[in-house]
Structure 1
Amino acid sequence: MVQPMIFTSTSVGNSAAPHALPSLREVHPMPVKAVRRTPPPNKQASSKPTPAQPAAPPPVFQPVRTRRGFEAVCDQIRQQLARGELRPGDRLPAEKDLAEQFDISRSGVREALRSLEAAGLVEARTGIHGGFYIHSGNSSGLTQTVQDLVSLGQVSIANVTEARVELMKVAIRLACARATQQDLDAIEVDIEHHTELFREGHGSRNTKSVIEFYRLIARATHNDVIVMMVDALSELIRALLARVDPQPRKDIMQVRRKVLALMRERDAQGAADAMELHLRHVSDYLESENRKTERKRKMAA
């Protein structure tokens, strides 16, 4: 039987000695079955392995008093994720139960869950089995974080475009070495699909699928971290380009076909050079348009 998750209560701004609330086990002690102790086996008489030890009880978290309650809730859930005590697909306790275990208000629990949802760690589900579940993970939180830093002026567009160019060079080198035939075929299918869309006049940077090409190259590396980083930066660049010019370059499919041909030949250097040239053209264009926008904004001020 799976033991219930136990979170410690969270006190905020209390300088007195901590007074820990009793855990669920202290309130409802479980009966303990007596275990007969046997003497250690005779090394000469037996070579049988010792029986497996019973699983250790869930850890008890320490109260956090120096932060707001919702931040402590987020921290403890993240700690359980890091230790593997919570896994993708696990359902968190109900809001009321979390409030009781953490000894904070339900509004504090809701704020924590919203924060974790925005970070992509949990997802809300509706229906009979509704509630908050540990998410399988995606790059949406990373994309939003970088977007916020750009909006706040902490990160420049030039920083983002440079990072993307260098990251894609690494990705395409790894993909040339690791891509399976299925990986390469998937890239070709995507190129054919978007070639048809552009021919019919439906190709646009407002469509998120336009960056699927880069995602597929990243997936061909078989490195999940690279997949998330490429996805995040590609989506950010797509959104920025869509603001200034929703129509991609006319030769974009020709460039992609060239990159794929070099990948099929396992020419990592050639594929990386072709990708770098293409992305630097995109970066230069984006930075140029951004400077124009800034000048117009200053003139209007």
Structure 2
Amino acid sequence: MSRRKSLVNTVADDLFDRIVAGEFGPGDPLPSEAEIGEQFDVSRVTVREALRTLTTRGIVRVVSGIGSRVAPVEAWRSVPDALRYRAAHGDDATVSEQLISTRRLIECEAAALAAPLISDSALEDCEACITAMEDASKAADVDAFVASDLRFHSVILEASGNLFLAVLLAPLTEVLADRRTETSRVPEIQRHAIHEHRAIVAALRSRDSAASRAAMEHHLQQTLDDLRHYVLH
């Protein structure tokens, strides 16, 4: 990475951190380019590139004759950015529940589409993921548990034959990993997830779309119930 690129990222990341911390809220003006340049001891060219980076992500808007302002969070283009801001401002419970709601819209339909299409090898991959989850649970390896959990759902998305479902869920991958790591520290949640995944595989093996959709729906409802009971209280 060039020194210029590194400086641009440093300035952009720091400004975003300050936005998340509440120093600048949606609608608030950012310091002028000269002030930012002085704070970081960088050129105006570097400052402009950093602001352009934030503008591309939808976090900042440049208002003619006024300068740069923080955009409404609803206009931000990066899901992880928006979730980080919401979580930092007391919306963590709402964010977690809305994430599950979004997964329902995508993954239940993916399971229904996958049922008549999924190959034996893909079903074997799902079974292998469950076995890996069981091994990780016994070893108290949360990272390995989460990786296998995410892989399980990825196999089903791929088996659905619908490219757009996977594309829609892709921006949430990083967030999903973080949230799964948080919830998967609870042994009861791990046991529930393993049980629910086995039910999903059984439904997929039956090639029954309705049963597969229902199994995924039940799993995500169980996920929501566990989140409320063990994590959000």
- 1:285 maps to amino acid: D
Q: Deviations over 1:105-157 (max 9, x none)?
A: 344235435765x79xxxxxxxxxxxxxxxxxxxx943443443454449543
Residue aligned with 1:177, SS = coil
Give the alignment partner of residue 219 of structure 2, picking from 274, 278, 282.
Answer: 278
What are structure 2's unaligned runs of at least 5 residues?
1-32, 34-43, 59-76
Q: Is the 8 A contact 1:167 1:230 kept in 2?
A: yes
2:108 corresponds to 1:169: yes
Structure 2 distance, partners of 1:237, 1:291, is 16
Task: Tell me how far apart the structure 2 counterparts of residues 144 and 206 of structure 1 sit (CA, whole Å).
Answer: 25
1:1-301 aligned within 5 A: 105-113=45-53, 141-152=78-89, 153=91, 156-203=95-142, 207-233=146-172, 236-237=175-176, 239-240=178-179, 242-243=181-182, 246-247=185-186, 248-289=189-230, 291-292=232-233
Secondary structure in 2 matching 1:249? helix
Q: Which has the higher contact order (CA 8 A, sep 6+)?
A: 2
Amino acid aligned to 1:170: E
Q: How much does 1:216 deviate? A: 1.8
Q: Percent identity?
A: 15
The answer to whether the Cα contact below 8 Å between 1:259 and 1:271 also exists between their aligned partners in 2 is yes
Q: Which residue of structure 1 aligns with residue 15 of structure 2?
A: none
Structure having the higher helix fraction is 2
Stretches of structure 1 that go unaligned for 5 or more consecutive residues are 1-69, 71-103, 120-139, 293-301
Q: Per-residue deviation at 1:221?
A: 1.9
The answer to whether the Cα contact below 8 Å between 2:126 and 2:155 also exists between their aligned partners in 1 is: yes
1:172 positional shift: 0.7
User: What is the CA–CA distance in structure 2 between the aligned matches of 1:115 and 1:253, rounded to whole Å?
Assistant: 42
d(CA) in 1 for partners of 2:153 and 2:194? 13
**Aligned residues of 1:195 and 1:253 also touching (Cα < 8 A):** yes
Cα RMSD of the aligned pairs, angstroms, is: 3.6
Instruction: Give the AA of the match of 1:167.
Output: I
Within 2, Cα distance between the matches of 1:187 and 1:210? 9
Q: Which amino acid in the other structure matches residue 279 of structure 1? A: L
Number of aligned residue pairs: give it: 169
Contact 1:206 1:246 in 2 (8 A): no
Is the CA contact 1:214–1:230 (under 8 Å) kept in the aligned structure 2? no
State how far apart, in whole Å, the 2-side matches of 1:188 and 1:291 are. 30
Q: Highest Rg: 1 or 2? A: 1
Contact 2:197–2:219 (CA under 8 A) maintained in structure 1: no
| Cα deviation digits, residues 139-192 of structure 1 (max 9, x gap) | x94344344345444954333322222322111111213333443332222222
Deviation of residue 259 (structure 1)? Answer: 1.0
Are the counterparts in 1 of residues 136 and 144 from structure 2 also a CA contact under 8 Å? no
Q: In structure 2, how many angstroms separate the alpha carbons of the residues matched to 1:194 and 1:249? A: 8
Structure 2 SS opposite 1:250: helix
Q: 1:240 & 1:196 partners in 2: Cα distance? A: 21
